[in-house]
Each structure stands twice: as C-alpha cells, then as structure tokens.
Structure 1
Amino acid sequence: MVGKDAAAKMRSVPLSNDTIRRRIEDISADIKSQLLERLRGSKLAVQLDESTDVSGSAQLIALVRYPWEGRIQEDFLFCQELTGRATSEEIFNVIDMFMETGNVSWENCIAICTDGAAAMTGRNSGVVARAKERNPMMIATHCMLHRQALASKSLSPELQSVLSTVVSVVNHIKCKPQSRLFGQLCREMGAGQDTLLFHSEVRWLSRGKVLQRFYKVKEKQ
C-alpha cells in the first residue's frame, strides 16, 4: 500500500506470531475504546442482524450510527456468537451485556433497526419490546434492504422473467471455465468491468448488484 521500499523494511523486522497477535488485539481494543467513548456522549441508532455462518453457528451482528463532527458516522459495533438458541431473550442479553460493559446508556439509543424476524419484533417478548422497556422513546424500524428483498419475491411475471434470465446467464458463466474467456472479451472491448457478480439466494443482497453489473457490461458492448 505504501510502496516496495516500505514493504521490504517490514519484512526485515522479526515478528513472531504471538507478537503480531498481541498487536492486533491491542489495536482492536483501542478502536473499541474510542468507539465506546464516542457513543457514551452521543445519541445512537443500532441495526441488528442474526444469521448462521458456514459452520452452522448463530452470529449476532450489530452496526451503529451516531453523529460525529457534524456528520452521521456508521461503524461496526460487534459480532458475537449466540451459544444457545437464537431466542429473543438470548439476543437481547448479548446486546444488554455489551451496553452494560461498555457503559453505554440505553437512553442514548433512540432507534433500533431489525430484519423483521419474530424473535426481533415480537410484540410482548421480542428484542425490540425488551429494548423499549429500557427506553420507551426508542423508534423501531424494519430494514429497508430486507423489505426490498421481500418485495422482489413477488415481482410481476415480466420482471421475474428478466431477473431469472439474467441470473441463469450469469451463474452459467461463473460456474464454467468460460468465465476467464468472458473476462478477456470484456477487457478487449473496453467494457470497464471484466467479471459478473454471482447470485445466490442465501446472499439476498446480491440480486440488485447482479442486475446492475449485467447492464453495465451490456451497455459497453
């Protein structure tokens, strides 16, 4: 990133795996402390998503938005494994424990955004309901991107046909050796893009990006 000379100097510094791990942990702890210090004196909004990773473990991911130096700042708050069942109680306990250990008041949290799952939005015992017990003035919203993904499942036959055709073509190219030939063709034509984006139902946010990349390449042909 800073040049070959700097890279050569870095390679000459003898660092053990333990030293590198310790420095990474120190950097991580410092970034976390700076973020928590900002949140203690600011109003904040939290976005939550619980999903299962490739190993089958449930992971709770939290993002935070807050005002900082005259603009809205967005940062990664935490990612923590849910050891038991991904119930509303366990999800809320993870968030509550993070807020308590970080000395961040629930009164500072003015909004919470979720994917609309029952564990998140249950009227009596969902995560949102438990959070509003700590701060009744909190606003709850449903993730806009997730709502778009849900709406796309009920597309009109004409639009669904376009999406299905594009996804079929893209996935056929990406799954075959001709992906390299396709990239070479795009570079020779000056398309600006030399690859297509793979679509997967699990990666539901990829649907729109697949279409955008497809038409960017098509416009250059």
Structure 2
Amino acid sequence: MLGKDAAAKLRSVPLSNDTIRRRIEDMSADIKSQLLERLRGSKFAVQLDESTDVSGSAQLIALVRYPWDGRIQEDFLFCQELTGRATGEEIFNVIDMFMETGNVSWENCIAICTDGAAAMTGRNSGVVARAKERNPMMIATHCMLHRQALASKSLSPELQSVLSTVVSVVNHIKCKPQSRLFGQLCREMGAGQDTLLFHSEIRCVDAKALSHITCDPDKGN
C-alpha cells in the first residue's frame, strides 16, 4: 500500500518474539505501578473470585474499586494461579503477598466482596476473617449477582420456566459464534448494551457461614 521503500523500512524494524515480549512486560509493569501508586494514597474495596479454568487450574481473580479524579474507578488488580489447595489460608496468602510486595497497606482496604464460599467466609480461617485481622474496620459483603441468582431459585414455577428459557437462550448465544452477530445486531438497533453475560450455576452456602457478613439492602450491599 505504501510502496517498496516503506516495506523495506518496516522489515528493518526489530520485531522478534523477545522484543515484543519485553515491550508487553514493560507496559504491564508501568500499568501495575500506576495502579499500586493510586492504591497507596486512597481507600479502596476489593472483590475476589476463585474459579477453575478450562485446564483445571484454580485461578484467583481480584478487582479493585477506588476514588480517582472525582469518580469511582474500577480496575483489574491481578489474576494468579493457586498452586495448592484453594483453601482460605492459601487464598489469603496470595492476596497478602501481593499487598506486601506492592507496599499497599491493609488499612486502606475498607471493604471486601466475595461469593460466599466457605473458603472466603469461613469464621476462623476464611479470607474475610484473616483480612479483618489486618483491618478490623473492614466491611465484608456478599456479591450482589450471586444473591440475585440464589434468590431466583425460589421463584414460582411459571417465572422459573421463563427464566430457564431465557438463560438457555443466552448461554446458547454466548458460547457460539452467534455472540458476535448478536453484538452487531444490538449495535445496529442502537441498543445500549451489546454483550451478554454467561449464566452459570451458583452454589448455595450455609447461612451460618454468612452470619458475620454485612448486608445492607438500603445501600445495595
């Protein structure tokens, strides 16, 4: 498109695998350092989720919310594989190590949100209990999406039938190439959203495990 001279100049640019990898690592390190710098100087809330990927490995995903430039900013904090058992102790150690190496104080973490699993909310060795040992003033909440999914299990048969049909249709579109076509259709129709969320089964937890979790419906927590 630009001619032989431009093609020759492009071929002279070093684009080896190592060069590209180094540049990606440099950009990643810079983004991480900026985020940690923000967390050191402000209060923030963390949302955690432990899940299993397609290879069978347990992955711990953490998101963070914090005030920045006059609004609430949400960023991806980290994703790290759990090499051993996905216990509350090991999950907390991963988070604690990340905080320690990033020089981020637990006192700045004012809230932690989990899916209510026993490893997260266990009274003695759960992640929430261990985190509150570092910051007793921390507020613990249960993920709103999980609560809504659990509440939907007690719907009337008529509503449950409608919901099951909708979930089946959404999951069928989401896991097929039609997902891209669906997004294109939504954009052509001027819809505000063009992405579907994959619906997965949500487990119910023992109420005793959630007895120390703060839930304030008026605040949406």
**TM-score strictly above 0.5:** yes
Range of TM-score over shorter length:
0.7 to 0.9
Q: Cα gap change, 1:44/1:196 in structure 2, threshold over 3 Å: closer, same or farther?
A: closer
Three-state SS of the structure 2 residue aligned to 1:153 is helix
Q: Which moved more, 1:94-103 or 1:161-170?
A: 161-170
Q: Report how many aligned residue pairs link the two structures.
A: 206
Of the two structures, which has the highest relative contact order with CA contacts closer than 8 Å and spacing of 6 or more?
2
Q: Cα gap change, 1:34/1:10 in structure 2, threshold over 3 Å: closer, same or farther?
A: farther
Deviation at 1:185, TM superposition (A): 11
Q: Which moved more, 1:125-134 or 1:179-188?
A: 179-188
Percent identity at matched positions? Answer: 95
1:53–1:59 contact (8 Å) kept in structure 2: yes
Question: For residue 114 of structure 1, what is the aligned residue in structure 2?
Answer: 114
1:113–1:141 contact (8 Å) kept in structure 2: yes
Deviation at 1:71, TM superposition (A): 0.9
Alpha carbon RMSD of aligned pairs, Å?
A: 6.1
In structure 1, distance between residues paired with 2:58 and 2:2:
38
- Identify unmatched segments of 5+ residues in structure 2: 204-218
Q: Cα gap change, 1:60/1:14 in structure 2, threshold over 3 Å: closer, same or farther?
A: same
Question: For residue 95 of structure 2, what is the aligned residue in structure 1?
Answer: 95
Q: Cα gap change, 1:95/1:191 in structure 2, threshold over 3 Å: closer, same or farther?
A: closer
Deviation at 1:124, TM superposition (A): 1.3
Q: Cα gap change, 1:75/1:124 in structure 2, threshold over 3 Å: closer, same or farther?
A: same
2:149–2:202 contact (8 Å) kept in structure 1: no
Q: Cα gap change, 1:97/1:157 in structure 2, threshold over 3 Å: closer, same or farther?
A: same
Deviation at 1:70, TM superposition (A): 1.1
Deviation at 1:199, TM superposition (A): 5.6
Q: Which moved more, 1:171-180 or 1:143-152?
A: 171-180
Name the TM-score, length of structure 1 as normaliser: 0.74
In structure 2, distance between residues paired with 1:166 and 1:147:
19
1:48–1:114 contact (8 Å) kept in structure 2: yes
In structure 2, distance between residues paired with 1:129 and 1:106:
13
